[in-house]
Amino acid sequence: MSEVTFRELRNPPPMVINFAKAVLRATVKPGKSPTLPDVGLRLNDVALDEKHLAAYRKVCGFAADGKLPVTYPHMHAFPLHMALILTDGFPFPAMGLVHVRNSITQYRPISEKEQLNVKCYLGNLNKVDKGYEFSIFTSISTGGERVWESESVNFFRTGGGSGSKKKDAPTPEPAKNTVEWKVPGDTGRRYGAVSGDRNPIHLYPLSAKLFGFKRQIAHGMWSKARCLAELQNQLPETAYTVDVQFKLPMFIPATVKFENTEVKGGSDFRLLAKDGIKPHLAGQIRPVES
């Protein structure tokens, strides 16, 4: 990939316009040898919106403590992510993408009062079984200091592939020592109102059925945020990375079970269906090696 050319923005791209463009680009095809545009976006001096932060904390379960929730900077990055995948020359339709993995590294707690500089760009396009994966990278700084970064890995299905199934995979043991949550059916609409991600698959049963789902599903980044809200008082004050792998969709309303296990150097957590077996999300928290 060539050197990225960044474009400075004065304001976040309006999500209404982003989704309108997504509809217009719904028929985009990747072709035989897709490539990613060598472009990036910058948005500087992003200040706190207290009402927005309060709404985010409420829907995700974070307590107010004077610091930004570790997943909150993604709210500033997501409109830029959308604008990047709607750039001329981007090879995939936005509506056909699935968020499969997300990694966040926070180098230190971020105060609510700090102004943030946000930088996003594309990379790591790879052909995988049944489609393509690519990454959207985000780096956030304040006062010239890098404080937060992430990698969001997305998948576009083209079909084909080996089609092999893991018939001999052992049945996982039910989780133990879990915390049970009730996830209301309006969670997708509430999180969508805060994040701007009003993808129809998250909103109503009818709109989700138009895209092949039996009813609406929870946002992956809401699931990650809700897990980290449960662990808020246990998260490190020093630099750490939290990786998650999104598994089966969570149809809402739902009853789910959260499990956290301390391991050497960090912790592993899972978000499971009511049966304590079917996985919605798996995550790992690890310190950043100095």
Give the model confidence (pLDDT) of 168-224 as tens digits. Answer: 566 777 788 899 999 999 999 999 999 988 888 899 999 999 888 899 999 999 999
* 243/105 Cα distance (integer angstroms): 9
* 104/221 Cα distance (integer angstroms): 11
User: Domain span at residue 177?
Assistant: 169-290
* pLDDT band for position 3 (cuts 50, 70, 90): confident
Give residues with Cβ within 8 angstroms of 206, minimum separation 6.
Answer: none
**What number of other Cβ atoms are within 10 A of residue 95's Cβ?**
16
Give residues with Cβ within 8 angstroms of 138, minimum separation 6.
Answer: 73, 74, 77, 80, 81, 118, 119, 120, 148, 149, 150, 151, 152
Quote the radius of gyration of the chain (alpha carbons, Å). 19
Alpha carbon 68 to chain centroid distance?
16
**Per-residue model confidence as pLDDT tens digits over 19-78:** 788 888 888 888 889 999 999 999 999 999 999 999 999 999 999 999 999 999 999 999
Do residues 173 and 156 both lie within one domain?
no
Do residues 154 and 103 both lie within one domain?
yes
Do residues 143 and 183 both lie within one domain?
no
Give residues with Cβ within 8 angstroms of 248, minimum separation 6.
Answer: 273, 278, 279, 280
* Last residue within a domain, chosen from 161, 177, 195: 161
* Last residue within a domain, chosen from 121, 136, 161: 161
CATH code, 282: 3.10.129.10
